[in-house]
Amino acid sequence: MAQGFLCVDLLKDATADETISNWVDCRGRTHLVFYLSSSGTTSGGAISLEEMLPVGKPGGQVPGLPFSGTNSLITTAINASTFTGGAQVAHHATVAAYGWVRARVSTAISGGGSISVGLVAV
């Protein structure tokens, strides 16, 4: 069983479409908070928070990259314009049993700024 806080930087100053973070093992952690922040103006673009469990891998070990399976969305894509100009927004994921999670720029960030995503899990 996981213990204590897990704090991870998922993305840093990302702008390009399909920029992905590494998968983070959140098995045994039921409370996830993703912190999305911007640097500069982010007038558009989207960030997806995703989860997967590597089926058929012993103990659900870390998936090989690139992973070609199907990922589940933890939430609908978050528009980067909702946290522009240095703002930060916290997304509290529903309390659940999670597998491996990551953040992905699912639509390129526009407006000249960039986004970063951090994760705190307990």
Q: Identify the pLDDT of residue 68.
A: 55
36 within domain boundaries: yes
One-letter-per-residue 3-state SS of the chain: CCCCCEEEEEEEEECCCCCECCCEECCCCCCEEEEEEEECCCCEEEEEEEEECCCCCHHHCCCCCCCCCCCEECCCCEEHHHHCCCCEEEEECCCCCCCEEEEEEEEEEECCCEEEEEEEEC
Q: Give the residue numbers spanning the domain of 100.
A: 6-54+69-121
Q: Identify the pLDDT of residue 62.
A: 57
Q: Decide: pTM greater than 0.85.
A: yes
105 within domain boundaries: yes
Of all residues in the chain, what percent carry a pLDDT higher than 70?
A: 84
33 or 98, greater pLDDT: 33
Domain count for the chain: 1
| C-alpha span between 32 and 24 (Å, rounded) | 12
pLDDT digits (tens, 9 = 90+) for 62-121: 555 545 566 889 999 999 999 999 999 999 999 998 988 999 999 999 999 999 999 999
1 within domain boundaries: no
63 within domain boundaries: no
What CATH number has the domain bearing residue 28? Answer: 2.60.120.1110
Residue 59: both structure tokens together: 């103990």
